[in-house]
Amino acid sequence: MDLFVVDNIPLSKRVIPSTIDDFVGQHHLLAPGKPIRTMIETRILHSMILVGPPASGKTSLAHLISRQMNMIFINESALTIDSESLKKIFSISSNKILFIDEFHRLTRPKQDMLLGPLERGEIIIIGATTENPNFIIQPALRSRIFTFELYPLTDKEIKKIILNALKIDKILSSKKITESDEALDFLVEYTKDVRKSLNAIEICINQKIKSENELSEIVIEKANIQTLLQSKDTGYSMIDGHYDVISAFIKSIRGSDPDAAVYYLSIMLESGEDPLFIARRLNILASEDIGLAYPEALPIATSAYIACEKIGLPEARIILAEVTVLFSLLPKSNTAYVALENASSDIRKNGTMPVPEHLKNIHIESDLQTYLSSNNSKDYKYPHDFPDHFINESYLSSKKEFFHFSNLGFEKQLKKWFDYLRKDNANSNKENL
């Protein structure tokens, strides 16, 4: 019965490394003196988030850590784990690692549930994600967890993993298998994913065994790989990369190149990227790069996200394509984003200014009476009581400028209105707007 189970586990699962020295790649984390190796060797393990593209070894590394530390390994997904499951896991008294895949999908309340057990040292959390953890993990949790980035495996590393697998696998190591360099190069070039490479070569071997009646030597040629792999992998995860392609996508829209933007959109969709991930990035772009030049871009992006969420693939592709082309063609402005960065930089450099007295909130009744009896009550001027609903007023303790207009799109009209309000002869110029 055990043999039956082993026979039905794919090669990529059967050869998961069990020691640090067996693990291929990620030398910046596992080489002597590097952080994760140091944790294992000193037997002092800390919670961590492993961030990196698919098939970079996040799950395998988590399994390896649990084996090396002799701890119970609990494998969960952020998509399916619920509060009751977390409570049951916390109640397990043995030393345990809770591995949470798709960590970027773990909701804020569930993240909050992890804080207590982590603080008391009752559990080790290892999360895996393809997203930037600075945007997905709440600050209190992030301060208690280390973040380690995993890099895409190189072609050389993938080849090494394949050759090692054929030597150590319980099933295939007993057979005499030869693979030509041409076949191996072709396999790596066409898959770019070590899991797919391992499973593809196993299928080729099994096909040979079945058709050639268990020959003494099994030779894998390029033609065998070509027959199995009907189309070339996009390389999205391992070569151009999850991060590189989305970066090129955003920069192409920012650069007003619809052809390049649609091309990178197609790479992501053909590679199986989550359409909601793309839609989220379009929301950010709408504010950061189009901004006040066309303020309707943000509600358009938000509507596109909702539409993709409700409709799903394959039709969501059309929605994303429409928004991508539109945003590529719209005028661009980052003035709001730059203003925010300027203000943040000023605060970090100079600290915060006090809020002027006439702008402060009145918290309780005694404050109200004090306020009404003081000169401050006369200082604040209600803009709606004045022509054009505007009055020149000081809203900062010291005069500072963070925002500067561009002269593009709708922002050009906003600038006209802004300049008009601040002119002494405002009424005479109003008809020119």
* DSSP, residue by residue, 309-346: HHH-TTTHHHHHHHHHHHHHHS----HHHHHHHHHHHH
Q: What are phi and psi of 176, to 5 degrees?
A: -90, 105
Per-residue pLDDT, 232? 54
**Is residue 314 scored above 70 in pLDDT?**
yes
- Which domain range does residue 169 map to? 155-228
Question: Which residues lie closer than 8 Å to 304 by C-beta, 6 or more apart?
Answer: 279, 282, 319, 320, 322, 323
47, 138: one domain: yes
CA 371 to chain centre: 49
- Whole-number Å distance between alpha carbons of 249 and 264: 5
160, 145: one domain: no
31, 96: one domain: yes
- Whole-number Å distance between alpha carbons of 305 and 325: 16
In tens, the pLDDT along 122-176 reads 899 999 987 777 777 888 888 889 999 998 888 888 888 888 888 888 877 777 7
**Is residue 280 scored above 60 in pLDDT?**
yes
Joined tokens for residue 361: 């909130």
139, 84: one domain: yes
Per-residue pLDDT, 428? 42
Last residue of a domain, one of 275, 295, 329: 329
Bridge partners for 286 per DSSP = none
> What's the CATH code of the domain at 319?
1.20.272.10
| Residue 128 resides in a domain | yes
> What's the CATH code of the domain at 164?
1.10.8
**Is residue 192 scored above 60 in pLDDT?**
yes
Per-residue pLDDT, averaged over 209-225, amounts to 68
41, 131: one domain: yes
DSSP classification of residue 55? T
**Is residue 119 scored above 70 in pLDDT?**
yes
| Residue 49 resides in a domain | yes
The answer to whether 141 touches 119, Cβ cutoff 8 Å, is no
366, 388: one domain: yes
| Residue 18 resides in a domain | no
| Residue 426 resides in a domain | yes
Which residue carries 């772009």 as its tokens?
285
Bridge partners for 179 per DSSP = 220
By percentage, how much of the chain surpasses pLDDT 70? Answer: 85
The answer to whether 148 touches 37, Cβ cutoff 8 Å, is no
37, 143: one domain: yes
The answer to whether 46 touches 65, Cβ cutoff 8 Å, is no
105, 218: one domain: no
Residue 432 confidence class, pLDDT cut points 50, 70, 90: very low
Q: What are phi and psi of 167, to 5 degrees?
A: -85, -35
**Is residue 315 scored above 80 in pLDDT?**
yes
| Residue 221 resides in a domain | yes
138, 30: one domain: yes
Q: What are phi and psi of 147, to 5 degrees?
A: -115, 125
In tens, the pLDDT along 13-57 reads 888 888 888 898 889 999 999 999 999 999 999 999 998 877 788
Residues 130, 135, 140, 142, CA torsion sign: positive
Per-residue pLDDT, averaged over 60-87, amounts to 90
Give the SS3 label for residue 176. Answer: strand
The full DSSP string for 399-412 is ---------SHHHH
What beta strand segments (E) does 37-132 contain?
48-51, 72-77, 96-101, 124-129
265, 291: one domain: yes
Per-residue pLDDT, 375? 52
Joined tokens for residue 153: 């495996």
Question: Which residues lie closer than 8 Å to 40 by C-beta, 6 or more apart?
Answer: 20, 65, 68, 69
Q: How many domains does the chain have?
A: 4
409, 391: one domain: yes
> What's the CATH code of the domain at 76?
3.40.50.300
Instruction: Identify which of 183, 211, 216 has the alpha carbon closest to the alpha carbon of residue 197.
Output: 183
- Choice among 92-106, 176-190, 265-279 with the minimum mean pLDDT: 176-190
| Residue 334 resides in a domain | no
Instruction: Identify which of 86, 95, 16, 108 has the alpha carbon closest to the alpha carbon of residue 58.
Output: 16
Length of the chain: 433
Question: Which residues lie closer than 8 Å to 8 by C-beta, 6 or more apart?
Answer: none
**Is residue 279 scored above 90 in pLDDT?**
yes
221, 290: one domain: no
| Residue 394 resides in a domain | yes
Bridge partners for 128 per DSSP = 50
Encode burial over 15-37: b for 16+ CB neighbours within 10 A, e otherwise.
bebeebeebbbbeebbeeeeebb
Instruction: Identify which of 210, 205, 195 has the alpha carbon closest to the alpha carbon of residue 228.
Output: 205
Instruction: Identify which of 184, 187, 185, 183 has the alpha carbon closest to the alpha carbon of residue 222.
Output: 183
- Whole-number Å distance between alpha carbons of 298 and 250: 15
The average confidence (pLDDT) of the chain is 80
| Residue 233 resides in a domain | no
Last residue of a domain, one of 131, 149, 167: 149
Residue type for position 192: K
Per-residue pLDDT, 176? 77
Last residue of a domain, one of 126, 149, 172: 149
